[in-house]
Structures are given as C-alpha cells and as structure tokens.
C-alpha cells in the first residue's frame, strides 16, 4: 500500500508562517534591484533614471548666478531709472550700466523705442539687434 501525502495546512495561505511569511526578502520579490530583468521589469522601464542614470564628472564649483532683464522692460522703465539716478540722459541717448544694478544679461523680449546705450556683461543677439535698430549701442563689460 502506498503512503498517503500529507494534507497539513492545505487550506492555509501562509502555511503557518503568518502574514509576513518567513521574513527575509522572499515575499518581496528580492532585495534592492533584484529581478529588474524578470519580475520587476515594469519598474525598470518606467524609471530608468534610478537604474541607468547620469554618468560622468560632476562639477562642484559654484556656477555663476546670472540675473536677466528684457529690453522691453528696460525701455519702459528707463525714465524711472533716470529719476532715481541709476541711469542718465545724454542728449537723446539714455545711458545705463546694468552691472551696477546687479543684472548680468540683457534678453531680447519686447520693443525698443528709445535710444539706449547699455553696458552689460552678456547680451543676446536679438536684444543687441533691437537696440542697434533703434539707434542705440551695447557695450560689453
């Protein structure tokens, strides 16, 4: 007569080891990034930056903080800057040093209707073209 198989724990989900199973990593699908090529593949596809992120050199030197202003805003507020003594009117040309105001770059959004002579460290090509079309000039420095 053949030996009968055990029927112990047959209706149980946990086989007597509680909800948490026998601890370890078995019930979690592995530890860390285990299973990325198999059962955790969807995570690997959705979040590649966690797995195969940026490589290479990281610069730890502080980067230059560049504050900007658009030519349209400068054109609108140039008279107020003259009244405050930050800019000056030389004949029909408004002169302003943006570096003294803490602004390092001049950008090209807006219209220029007044003649401006602007001293600034960086300037976009669009901003420079608009100022020169209106009869002004840009001084780098």
CATH 3.100.10.10 residue ranges in the chain?
68-140
CATH architecture assigned to 68-140: Ribosomal Protein L15; Chain: K; domain 2 (3.100)
pLDDT at position 63, please? 85
pTM: 0.56
- How would residue 125 be classed by pLDDT, with cut points 50, 70 and 90? very high
Other C-beta atoms within 10 Å of 130: how many? Answer: 22
Render pLDDT for 101-118 as a digit per residue (tens, 0 to 9). Answer: 999 999 999 999 999 999
- CB distance 2 to 8 below 8 Å: no
CB < 8 Å & 24+ apart, contacts of 23-28: none
Mean pLDDT for the chain overall: 87
- Residue with the two structure tokens 């105001």: 101
Mean pLDDT, to the nearest integer, of 58-73? 89
> How high is the pLDDT of residue 9?
86
């Amino acid at each position: 007569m053949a030996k009968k198989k055990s029927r112990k724990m047959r209706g149980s989900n946990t086989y007597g080891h509680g909800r948490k199973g026998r601890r370890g990593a078995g019930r979690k699908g592995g530890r860390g990034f285990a299973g990325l090529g198999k059962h955790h593949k969807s995570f690997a596809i959705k979040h590649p930056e966690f797995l195969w992120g940026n490589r290479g050199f990281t610069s730890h030197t502080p980067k230059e903080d560049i504050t900007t202003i658009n030519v349209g805003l400068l054109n609108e507020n140039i008279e107020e800057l003259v009244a405050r003594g930050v800019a000056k009117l030389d004949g029909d040309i408004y002169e302003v040093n943006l570096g003294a105001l803490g602004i390092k770059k001049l950008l090209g959004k807006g219209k220029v209707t007044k003649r401006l002579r602007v001293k600034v460290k960086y300037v976009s090509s669009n901003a420079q073209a608009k100022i020169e079309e209106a009869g002004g000039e840009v001084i780098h420095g």
